[in-house]
Chains A and B, each alone.
With several copies, the nearest count.
Chain A
Amino acid sequence: MIIRYFAWVRERVGTDEETIELPETVQTVADLIGHLKTLDANHAAAFAEEDAIRVAVDQLHVETDAKIGSAREIAFFPPMTGG
C-alpha cells in the first residue's frame, strides 16, 4: 500500500511517500491511522490531532470510516488552503 503525506502531515511524518504492508486487521481508513500511529514517534505526532487530518483513497476524498479494499494509494493531509 502506497501512503502519501502532504503539507504539515508530510513534515511531521518525515517523508512524502512510503510503502507499507498492512496487517489483515486494517480494514478501514480509521484502522490504518491506528496502525500508522504505532510505527514510530513521528507517525504518532503526525496523527495526534486526528480531527485535523483529511484522507483521500485513490485520489478521492473519503471519511475515515471508508473501507480500504483494493486501493492502491492512500493520502493524508491537513484541510486544504488553495485558491
Chain B
Amino acid sequence: MPVQPTIRVQKDDFDALAESKSLTEGRQDVGAVVTFTGLCRDEAGTLSALELEHYPGMAEAELSRIATEAVARWPLTGLSVIHRYGKIKPGENIVLVVASSAHRRAAFEAADFLMDFLKTRAPFWKKEHPVSGRASVWVEAKAADDTDAARWKNT
C-alpha cells in the first residue's frame, strides 16, 4: 500500500532535518532520502520580502493530490511537503519536499516531480515587495515551469 504523504501549509518556518528524520528514524528500509528546499532569492539586493498568498483549503488539497500521484507512481517509503505563506525575507525558506525510498532513483524522481507540479498546480502566488518605496509587483509565471511539468507525461 502506498504511504500516506504528510502535507502542511503554514506561516512558520520548517526544520528540514526534523522532517527528514521523521521519515527514517527507527526504520531500516530506507536507502535514500532526497530533500528539496526552495528559498527566497534576491541577487540584486532590491527585495524587501516576498508575500506568499495562497488559497486555503485548495492549497492543501492540491498538494495532497500531487503527493498522492507521486506515491502511486514511485515506490516511496515516505513523502512530506511543506509550503509556507505570508511574508518571507530573502534567504528564508519557502518550500520543502522530502522523498524517501529504498532506492535513490525513486527518491530523486519523486521530489523532482513534486516540485514541477507544485510550481504549476498548487495555488500560491508570490508578490515582491521592493526595498525602495516602489510599488510591489506580482511575480509572473514562467513558461519553463510548464515545460518542466510536461516532462513527466511521457515517462
When distances are taken between beta carbons in the complex, the residues of chain A under 8 Å from B152 are none
When distances are taken between beta carbons in the complex, the residues of chain B under 8 Å from A6 are 53, 55, 123, 125
- Interface 0/1 of B129-143, CB less than 8 Å to A: 000000000111100
Size range of the chain A interface in the assembly: 10 to 19
Pick the residue among B55, B126, B127 that contacts A56 (CB under 8 A): B55
Residues on B lying within 8 angstroms of A by beta carbon are 38, 52-55, 57-58, 61-62, 83, 94-95, 104, 115, 118-127, 138-141
| A and B contact pairs by CB, cutoff 8 A, 14 listed | A6-B53, A56-B58, A59-B61, A77-B55, A80-B125, A81-B125, A81-B138, A82-B83, A82-B94, A82-B118, A82-B119, A83-B83, A83-B95, A83-B122
**Nearest chain B residue, comparing its CB with the CB of A79:** B141
When distances are taken between beta carbons in the complex, the residues of chain B under 8 Å from A61 are 62, 121
A19 to B5 CA separation, bound complex (whole angstroms)? 34
When distances are taken between beta carbons in the complex, the residues of chain A under 8 Å from B125 are 6-7, 77-78, 80-82
- Other A-B contacts than A7-B127, A79-B141, A83-B124, 11 sampled, CB-CB below 8 A, are A6-B53, A7-B138, A75-B58, A77-B125, A78-B138, A79-B140, A80-B123, A80-B141, A81-B126, A81-B139, A82-B122
- Interface 0/1 of A13-26, CB less than 8 Å to B: 00000000000000
A83 to B83 CA separation, bound complex (whole angstroms)? 7
